[in-house]
Amino acid sequence: MIAFSIGPINIYRYGICYLIGFLVWYIFLNRIAKKNIFWSSFPRLQTFLEKNTDDLILCIFFWVLIWWRLGQVFIYDFQYYLQHPMEIIQVWKWGMSFVWGMIGVALSLTLFARKKRFSFKEIVLLFDLVLAIMPFGIMLGRIGNFLNQELYGIVVSNRLPRLWYPLFSILNDLQIFHVYPQVDTQLRVNTNFLSIFFEGFVLLIVTLSIIRHRVKTKKPQPGKIVAVFLIGYSFIRFCLEYLRADSQLEFHGLFSVSQRFFIWFFLLGIVALIRQKRNAK
């Protein structure tokens, strides 16, 4: 949805959210570089963060946008884009896939780090730093979804049991239930709000608390944020998929297409956490 126009140029709400997200990412990485928490253990990574943050952000920016879009094309709307190939580059239409965006982040960071000849632990630490602020980007993305009246939840009366009235009233006051005027007049679960709170705010508090501990103790703890993010985000998204109306269209058996990815991400997070715990001893 268009936020405003400058002459013939349309500025989209998603675009504003992405811009803010990457700016915050850039500021965060620069602030981390000034904390000098990697000098004792990973001086090369510390030097890189002080001098090459711009290159890292640009690399992530382009690869994330490309893979986000390709995910939407190949996973969710392949037949449509097969018939309308020119619309693939129209990123302002039909959305993107966060799952493939994550894969894009992983590939771009790995290729970028290997080009710089970083060790495995240095690559893992880069992943930690990128994922530490990722929940903030998720919050912005879900705000954009809400403003665009998309990714709305299931109808309350049809799919959820009748709640005790005081509880229903409280949840309604907290905007857990919401009417999406551009969709219909029915009361629906506000999955955007739930995503903003659990995928964004809660995970952000957790990841930043780990960063704060690192700054305080000067201990890098490679892989901890990767593990926590994969486990936390996958679990939350897996549960919320059952409340999203759009996800109901892609269920095959018990799980949706996205949930199958989140199961693998969750298991990968468990493996990463076990590995991190062992290396910390």
DSSP collapsed to 3 states, the chain: CEEEEECCEEEEHHHHHHHHHHHHHHHHHHHHHHHCCCCCCCHHHHHHHHHCHHHHHHHHHHHHHHHHHHHHHHHHCHHHHHHCHHHHHCCCCCCCCHHHHHHHHHHHHHHHHHHCCCCHHHHHHHHHHHHHHHHHHHHHHHHHHHHCCCCCECEHHHHCCCCCHHHHHHHHHCCCEEECCCCCCCEEECHHHHHHHHHHHHHHHHHHHHHHHHHHHCCCCCCHHHHHHHHHHHHHHHHHHHHECHHHHHEECCEEHHHHHHHHHHHHHHHHHHHHHHHHC
Does residue 249 or residue 177 have the better pLDDT?
177
Q: Does any domain span residue 159? A: no
Highest mean pLDDT: which range of 17-21, 43-47, 214-218, 266-270: 266-270
Percent of the chain beyond pLDDT 90? 19
Checking if the pLDDT of 187 tops 80, the result is yes
Average pLDDT over residues 140-161: 78
Cα separation, 197 vs 78, whole angstroms: 31
Q: Does any domain span residue 207? A: yes
Closest listed residue to residue 122, CA positions, set 28, 49, 204: 49
Cα separation, 42 vs 156, whole angstroms: 52
Checking if the pLDDT of 250 tops 90, the result is no
pLDDT at residue 150 in the model: 81
pLDDT at residue 231 in the model: 96
pLDDT at residue 135 in the model: 92
Average pLDDT over residues 174-192: 85
Average pLDDT over residues 122-142: 88
Q: Does any domain span residue 90? A: yes
Domain count, the chain: 1
Containing structural domain, residue 104 = 2-153+190-280
Q: Does any domain span residue 182? A: no
pLDDT at residue 57 in the model: 80
Q: Does any domain span residue 144? A: yes
Q: Does any domain span residue 71? A: yes
Q: What is the pTM of this model?
A: 0.82
Checking if the pLDDT of 156 tops 90, the result is no
Q: Does any domain span residue 172? A: no
Average pLDDT over residues 174-185: 83
Cα separation, 38 vs 17, whole angstroms: 31
Q: Does any domain span residue 184? A: no
